[in-house]
Amino acid sequence: MMERNMKRERNTNFSREETENLISLIETYKNIIENKKSDAATWQEKEKAWKAIEFEYNSCGVGVYRDARHLKLKYEAIKRDTRKKANHIAQQNENGSSINKVPPLTPAEQKVKRMLSLSIEDSESCSNSDQNMVSEKPQEKRPFDKLVEAKLEVVELRKKIIEEELQEKLLKKQMLKDEMTYKKELFELEKEERLLKIAILKNQR
């Protein structure tokens, strides 16, 4: 029953506050999330970034619990809708039409549009650098990349601390349960002992 309820909660539509919260978190990790490289190292970085976003999103206490997969699907849907809306607005401005006028992009959609523009620029610059590169030393990590890595490490550390606290609580719960079981068994033994003494006394009479 509980599993069904949790599943239903995870499929609940995102509120505007939840959407804005998600986009703000993704913006922090945009250089990783919108990286167009497809190698194993980039894939691992993206997985770590989404896990960090999942942890921070659910730590805010805004809305229901969402895992990384649902957050990623929501972001892909927002990107798709933002592209479509931005194209309609561009065509509308070009034609000067006021019929069925599309409303302007929301602040969250504007952030997504900027991130999409950044990903296109990064993709083009990476492509040009790959063509021109012959024997180049690996680039040093930029301060932003170091900051993101440090933040990911902090998130992982917080996650481990929470997991350890949870294990400690489960252990205490089990100890308490064992103690209650022991007291119950002891009570039953004492009860049997008293009944046995009473039976002996009756036989002696």
DSSP 136-199: -PPPPPPHHHHHHHHHHHHHHHHHHHHHHHHHHHHHHHHHHHHHHHHHHHHHHHHHHHHHHHHH
Q: What percent of the chain has pLDDT over 70?
A: 77
Of 93, 111, 133, the position where a domain reaches its end is: 133
Tell me the residue range of the domain where 205 lies.
141-205
User: Do 162 and 200 belong to one domain?
Assistant: yes
Residues 6+ apart with CB under 8 A from 60: 21
Going by pLDDT thresholds of 50, 70 and 90, the confidence category of residue 170 is: confident
Assess whether pLDDT exceeds 50 at residue 73: yes
Half-sphere exposure of 48 (CA within 13 A, CB side): 18
pTM: 0.54
Going by pLDDT thresholds of 50, 70 and 90, the confidence category of residue 54 is: very high
DSSP category for residue 97: -
User: Do 102 and 157 belong to one domain?
Assistant: no
User: Do 126 and 182 belong to one domain?
Assistant: no
Q: How many domains does the chain have?
A: 2
Of 72, 107, 133, the position where a domain reaches its end is: 133
3-state secondary structure of 3: helix
Of 133, 151, 177, the position where a domain reaches its end is: 133
User: Do 115 and 161 belong to one domain?
Assistant: no
User: Do 122 and 158 belong to one domain?
Assistant: no
Mean pLDDT of 149-155: 76
User: Do 6 and 103 belong to one domain?
Assistant: yes
User: Do 86 and 179 belong to one domain?
Assistant: no
Burial letters 108-132, b for 16+ CB under 10 A, else e: bbebbbebbeebeebeeeeeeeeee
Number of Cβ within 10 Å of residue 92's Cβ equals 15
User: Do 165 and 70 belong to one domain?
Assistant: no
Going by pLDDT thresholds of 50, 70 and 90, the confidence category of residue 4 is: very low
Which among 44, 49, 47, 48 is positioned nearest to 29, based on CA atoms?
Answer: 49
Q: What percent of the chain has pLDDT over 90?
A: 20
